[in-house]
A and B are shown apart, each in its own frame.
Chain A
Amino acid sequence: MLSRSLNRRHFLFRSACGFGGVVLGWLCAEEARAAALASPYAPKPPMFPARAKRVIHICALGGVSHVDTFDYKPELERRHGQDSGRKFDTFFSQPGRLLKSPFAFRQYGGSGRWVSDLLPYLAGCVDDLTFIHSMHSKSSNHTPATFLMNSGFTFNGFPSAGAWVSYGLGSENQNLPAYVVLPDPRQLPAGGSINWTNGFLPAVHQGVAFRSGERDPIPDLATPSDISPARREASVHLLEKLNAADAAAHPGDSALAARIRAYELAAQMQLRVPELVELSRETAATKSAYGLDHPNAATAGFARNCLLARRLSERGVRFVQIFNGGQFGSPRINWDGHEDIVENHRKQALTMDQPVAALLRDLKQRGLLDETVVLWTTEFGRTPITQGIDGKGRDHHQHGFTIWAAGAGLQPGLAFGATDEIGYDAVENPVEFYDVHATLLRLLGVEHTKLVFRHNGVDRRLTDVHGEVVQGILA
């Protein structure tokens, strides 16, 4: 392992005596190219004062039922089993009848926000949460809706929010990627790495997915086992010399310098990442609070990711994205409760509730919540009616659903917007993901219409041609 600090100047001067002693001349040129030598994650100043420094985005995939979690609808209890009296544009099968939530709702905290008994841990956090009950989306098909939630487009291949934030703001930590993704330990989401793609932005802004629970969370991070530290060290040294001599022969080329810098960063990451994912220094109480010791493997794995998210945020990683749920289809390993809402949502809630609540508490206790936005989203909600006449599940529903955020710059304990009495349409202050993205960027000190990248002739934005900051939720 490359243990000594790779001080660029140090090694360049040292190797100046190496191949031909021409490096000194190159160094002058290098001054002029300092920008290229800077870390690709060099922090960039926000456009106006930022309320938040970083983001943790929790994506609950499959479509979390708003009327069974955070959007309490007494009217459904009154009209349970009745025809909804309106046309439903259902996704898979014939519309059924109105279904009251099979979960018991109660008010919690000083704010009195309603939460069902599906999420007892999160219920204890409501005074820190800011709910948006009036979400609506452009698609009721999982993948387009998920892409929309992450990138502002229903098609794949557009940069995700994390990539945009990395591109716009860089990172506070130059030895770790600016955008780290923690996929559900059970499986990658549908579309895999396209969900955290840099799209047409420079590749350095792509989300770096940490493979769950492995010693080597990033591909090719570890030196092959048959290469001894001494051998590696000597190789790195010799490569530096070779590259420095080559750079000296071609003065003024920033790409050569940038590549030398990339090798330094790689060496740093080889050092930092294993330390980062090593959780032995965390107290037993902390691990237990998150649920790392949970008997359910999916819960324990997700808990580990939540704890990692805190460690990443702590180290200044700008954007951490945690997925709860894997690919769509059967068997269900996400919130896609078509067949039986009780069975499905109980199973999913068990994996998510305790770890997310623990993350919120942990961030707060460490003072990190004041400078971090925690955003919890799902791609759409679920129908207030059953799927099929005598069904026990609910179908996809794009016209009204709930997300929440917590932390820096937000009004805690707030319920913003509302759906109608059965939870069908977002009727009060409707919000789309474009608005969520615009608001997120605003909290980070970035004007969403000004964060642009020209690609194939179009000035692309995270918010496409839409988006308005949701002023009503800002503190």
Chain B
Amino acid sequence: MKWSARMLGMLLLVISAVSACADVSTNADHWAYRPLAAPPVPDFPAGSRPSTNPVDSFIAAKLAEHGLTPAPEADRRTLLRRVSFDLIGLPPTPEELRAFLADTSTNAYERVVDRLLASPRYGERWARHWMDAAHFAETHGHDQDRIRTNAWPYRDYLIASFNDDKPYTRFVREQVAGDVLFPADPQATVALGFIAAGPWDESSLRDIREDTLDRQVARYLDRDDMLTTVMQTFASTTVQCARCHDHKFDPVSQRDYYALQAVFAGVDRANRVFDADPQVHVRRQDLMRKRRRVKQNDRALLLSAETSRAVTEWEERRAAHPVTWSTVDAQTFVSVGGATLTKQADGSLLAIGTRPDRDTYTISARSPLAGITGIRLEVLPDASLPHQGPGRNENGNFHLSEFQLLTFEPGAKAAREIPLANPSADFDQQDWGIARALDGDEKTAWGIHPREGEAHQAVFELKEPLALPPGTTLVFVLKQLHGEGHLIGRPRLAVTDARTSLRVLPTELTAIVALPIAQRTDDQRALLAADVLGERIRLDLAALPPPSLVYAAANDFEPDASLKPSGVPRVVNLLKRGEITKPMEVISPGTLSCVTALPARFELADPADEGARRAALASWLTAKENPLTWRSIVNRVWHHHFGRGLVDTPNDFGRMGGTPSHPELLDWLAVWFRDDAKGSFKELHRLLVTSATYRQSATVVNRKSEIVNPPDPGNRFLAHMNRIRLDAECVHDAVLQVSGRLDLHMGGPSDRQFDLQPGIHVTPRVDYTKFEVDGDAGRRRSVYRFLFRTLPDPFMEALDCPAGDQLTPARNNSVTVQQALALWNNAFVARNAEHFAARLEREAQTPEARIRRAFELVFGREASAEELTEFTGHTRQYGLANCCRLLFNANEFVFVN
């Protein structure tokens, strides 16, 4: 029965996919969407150097096909420098180099590779590649480039994941739906930093009115960034091109696109709670899930037998321990604003006479009890008040801005403020809840509109029960600072020493409790249960240790201005021509139709469960049958090792992207990585960097005709290794290591390598020139630098470090004037050159020995006799630091052969 429904669903999907893709379906046989099958490893062409590494077989076959011959193996110095920068992002030390040169065993190189892959530095290097792909930064970007204080845990998650060699399937699943798929692992929640890594339009999504078109547009664009990040990174598909119309070149329909929008319709970017302790994490997530269900009025939960039992127990406990209140007999009562407070027979104080705009009542009394645990404030109606009160405003309302309790013990010189907590009231005006009378913010307040004309009460608990020495005076302060006469007309105060929960029930719940259980409707039972459960969850959450936060995709977070969790996923419409004013039909969650081996629309048990949507996408992405995922990742890793992917557009395998230079090798690697290596990055690195292809020299030797007329201009077929300019992080970290200043302390909040001042609006002023380069915050690896999206470090920017506003699968490798100026004149280089010189002076005694050591450290080679003469001469005249600065500017330092 279940099976046939599934079949039917599949059939419907196929039909809709066909109709939606009518004009593009001819593209479905494009190489990227074809099912994966490992091609046979070709035989080595006659006469070529044999290798046991299958990678070399594929490369050799292609070289032979094009009449090319491979370059010889690079010398050991070159090889070590290359593989060190490649795997850990740092140059080899002279000691490592000497050890490698002296190691005559046949597997000396393989052992170096193992050492590098085992180094924690490896994760730091490869996490940064992933941060580029995810366009990770630690501020929002846009016009309100606010700091994300809690973005860094995702960076640490990446470093740990690479160092732990997390299988790729798990890595992908965690970053798309880790909270749902691995609820017991707190780090799987941190992984959701991926979805939130990109920019966020705070002014449109938090500040402007909810009903503006700009807000709605911003929502679609925000999800657009999420789905683009996911689909480009994991599936190398430019699905975002189908926002306004079916993709012009690839088999992606507009329906596919909006189906992906629907996957992310229940999450926002926000600070998400997690706990480092897995047990606490699970407990808190359970409680939060339950709290969401309560908020969503989930009847299955609220009317369950278990809940009913809990409510009954609660009622019994409440009936067994009624709270008794002792009315306070006010001794002095002062209105700062000039009203007259008059004591009534029932112990209340009636305000008459002057009605100021704002007022503060200070009421003092001897305590009727020897100890107290809570205070009750009643606000009573009176015929003399507008609309019977209880407030003095024309409509009978009031606003209590802040409530305070102080005590004056006999002999004390000053009053002591007593901390209060857990405020509750029988009625809260919308957005003017009782908690606002205790939030320390005088601009917010408690009110009771539209329930004027009746009595109300609020209760404040003491954080700790308070014993009162005889003769102690209690002082109550009622600040009412909203203005326009929003003042309490007739307050009455009482205290209690009860040790049970003091919480006041909302009026309508008091009425429900008064009804015999059998007479309560389901609505009434649900209402009461929501309150009882909600309070219990609140107390349970409060009892847990303080949580950690990560800036991540979130469906449950503290509201911030008009940014609020969606509760259930928001409705996603197909937008005609991508225009917000032309919403068409509602679209349900799904993904690409062109991967025909997998269903493109998700069958979800509960459409309101947003997590299930992401989990379904994660499963689709990591399915064995999804050819995009496996081709995408091996190509991405290849790109970083060889400077260029087998497909040179790592984020686009579509018709407008590159075509694979070695399609068979790409497929072989994809299948090998998926099945043999079980998604192990380290295995993949090992396979690639131990290949003869990788170990080739980067130098094209002495064939003048070929230099003028290269047979393979872009070196697509890899007849030699590519020479690569060091990226910004490698330059930065190598300068620190060579200067002897690199601090290898890992993880934690990012180093802010700038001076930070408040800006005129949200975006702060950031000055990188005022940063003290010599300070400790400037010594760690650059992966721990704080990344400002709109205000990037000009030094790193000059070296093509991306700012995080665009997905960057491949960095620019530019050589610019700004870059030359930065390396010549920037304080980072200049100061570290001085440290480098000091190091040389410590470690070597003669001028020649210092130059020798400098060449070893910077270039990984010995200085020639001529160079020794030149550089010692230069040092004599201009100083050693100047020499060091010069070496940092040399091409030989900045390029890896």
| Interface window among B345-353, B456-464, B678-686, B697-705 | B697-705
Q: What's the minimum C-beta distance from A217 to chain B, rounded to whole angstroms?
A: 12
Nearest Cβ on chain A to B189's Cβ, whole angstroms: 28
B48 contacts the other chain (CB 8 A): no
In the assembly, what is the distance between CA of A255 and CA of B897, in Å?
12
Nearest Cβ on chain B to A195's Cβ, whole angstroms: 9
Return the CB mask of A457-471 against B: 1 if under 8 Å, else 0. Answer: 111000000000000
Are the CB atoms of B710 and A252 closer together than 8 Å?
yes
Known contacts being A19-B867, A231-B882, A242-B892, is A204 close to B874, with CB within 8 Å?
Answer: no
Docked complex Cα distance between A256 and B890 (Å): 10
Does any Cβ of A come within 8 Å of B15's Cβ? no
Contacts of A328 in B (CB 8 A): 143, 761
Most buried by A among B702, B704, B769: B704
**Is A191 a contact of B886 with CB atoms below 8 Å?**
no
Residue of A nearest to B890 (CB): A242
Q: Which residues of B contact A439 (CB under 8 A)?
A: none
B865-897 vs A, CB cutoff 8 Å, 1 = contact: the mask equals 011001100100111001001100111101101
Question: Contacts A91-B214, A327-B761; is A259 near B817 (CB within 8 Å)?
Answer: no
Beta-carbon contact of A220 and B821 below 8 Å: yes
A141 to B824, CA, bound (A): 41
In Å, the complex CA distance between A31 and B709 comes to 11
A265-B890 in contact given A91-B212, A194-B805, A457-B649 (Cβ < 8 Å): no
The distance in angstroms between the C-alpha atoms of A208 and B821, with both chains bound, is 13
Complex interface bits, A118-152 against B, C-beta within 8 A gives 1, otherwise 0: 00000000000000000000011111100000000
Within 8 A of A (CB), among B777-824: 790-792, 794-795, 798, 800, 803, 805-807, 809, 812-822, 824
Known contacts A20-B866, A190-B761, A326-B760, A458 near B656 by CB under 8 Å: yes
- Number of contacts between A and B (CB, 8 Å)? 232
Any A CB within 8 A of the CB of B213: yes
Min CB–CB distance A138 → chain B (angstroms) = 9
| Cβ B825 vs Cβ A224 within 8 A | yes
Q: Is the CB of A227 within 8 A of B826?
A: no
Which residues of the partner chain A approach B877 to less than 8 Å between Cβ atoms? 231, 234
Interchain CA distance A265-B656 in the complex, whole Å: 36
Report whether B790 and A141 are in contact in the complex, using a CB–CB cutoff of 8 Å: no
Considering the complex, which residues of chain A in the window 201-251 have a beta carbon less than 8 Å from any beta carbon of chain B? 202-204, 206, 208, 218-224, 227, 230-231, 234-235, 238-239, 241-243, 246-247, 249-251
Taking CB atoms, residues of chain B closer than 8 Å to A223 are 824-825
Also in contact, A255 and B725, with CB within 8 A (given A156-B142, A220-B822, A328-B143)? yes
> Is A263 part of the contact surface with B, judged by Cβ < 8 Å?
yes
Which of chain B's residues have a CB closer than 8 A to the CB of A219?
Answer: 769, 794, 818, 821-822, 826
A250 to chain B: closest residue by CB: B699
User: A200: which B residues are within 8 A, CB to CB?
Assistant: 806
Give complex CA distance A328, B820 in Å: 34
The CA of A238 and the CA of B874, in the complex, are separated in Å by: 8
Chain B proximity mask over A37-51: 1 for CB below 8 Å, otherwise 0: 000100000000000
Nearest-CB distance from A298 to chain B (Å)?
A: 14
Q: Are B826 and A220 in contact (CB under 8 A)?
A: yes
CA distance A269 to B864 in the complex (A): 33
Residues of B contacting A87 in the complex (Cβ-Cβ under 8 angstroms): none
A141 touches B866 (CB 8 A): no
Whether a CB of chain A sits under 8 angstroms from the CB of B232 is yes
Once the chains bind, are B878 and A259 in contact (CB under 8 Å)?
Answer: no
Q: Quick check: is B657 within 8 A (CB to CB) of the other chain?
A: yes
| B723–A253 touching, CB < 8 Å | yes
* CB–CB A203/B790 < 8 A: no
Cross-chain contact A255 with B723 (CB below 8 angstroms): yes
Contact call A143/B707, Cβ cutoff below 8 A = no
Query: Does A199 belong to the interface (CB within 8 Å)?
Result: yes
Q: Hey, which chain A residues are within 8 Å of B401, CB to CB?
A: none
| A231: nearest chain-B partner, CB-CB | B878
Q: Tell me the complex Cα distance, A339–B895, Å.
A: 56
Answer yes or no: A283 CB below 8 A from chain B CBs: no
Q: Which of B168-215 contact A (CB under 8 A)?
A: 199, 201, 203-204, 208-209, 212-214
Which residues does chain A contribute within 8 Å of B213, judged by CB atoms?
Answer: 89
Report yes or no: A457 in contact with B654, Cβ–Cβ below 8 A. yes
Chain A residues with Cβ below 8 Å from B708 are: 28-29, 31-32
- Whether A456 contacts B238 in the complex (CB less than 8 A), given A29-B707, A250-B698, comes out as yes
Q: Provide the bound-state CA to CA distance between A368 and B698, in Å.
A: 50
The minimal Cβ–Cβ distance linking A50 to chain B, given in whole angstroms, is 26
B203 contact set on A, CB distance < 8 A: 141-143
Is B86's CB within 8 Å of the partner chain A?
no
Which residues in chain A, 156-196, are within 8 Å of chain B measured between CB atoms? 156-157, 177, 187, 190-194
**Is the CB–CB distance between A266 and B824 below 8 Å?**
yes
Asked if A85 CB lies within 8 Å of chain B CBs, one says no
Report the Cα distance A147→B706, complex, angstroms: 46
CB neighbours (8 Å) of B882 from chain A are 227, 231, 235
Contacts of B124 in A (CB 8 A): none
Given the complex, which residues of A lie within 8 Å of B209, measured CB to CB? 92
Q: How far does the alpha carbon of A190 sit from the alpha carbon of B141 in the complex, in Å? A: 10
Which residue, A141, A329, A330, has most C-beta atoms of chain B within 10 A? Answer: A141
Q: Is there a chain B Cβ closer than 8 Å to A350's Cβ?
A: no
What 11 additional pairs, Cβ within 8 angstroms, besides A141-B214, A154-B221, A235-B886?
A: A89-B213, A141-B203, A143-B143, A177-B817, A191-B142, A192-B790, A255-B723, A263-B889, A266-B820, A456-B652, A456-B807
Would you give 28 A-B contacts (Cβ < 8 Å), ordered by A?
A31-B708, A32-B707, A156-B790, A157-B806, A187-B760, A191-B145, A194-B803, A197-B805, A199-B806, A203-B814, A203-B816, A203-B818, A222-B825, A231-B877, A234-B874, A234-B877, A241-B870, A242-B891, A246-B892, A255-B815, A260-B891, A262-B816, A263-B889, A270-B821, A327-B763, A330-B761, A456-B649, A456-B652
Binding site for A on B (CB under 8 A): 141-143, 145, 199, 201, 203-204, 208-209, 212-214, 217, 221, 232, 238, 241, 649, 651-652, 654, 656-657, 698-700, 702, 704, 706-710, 723, 725, 759-763, 769, 790-792, 794-795, 798, 800, 803, 805-807, 809, 812-822, 824-827, 830, 864, 866-867, 870-871, 874, 877-879, 882, 885-886, 889-892, 894-895, 897
List the 3 shortest-distance A-B pairs measured between CB atoms, nearest first.
A457-B652, A329-B761, A157-B805
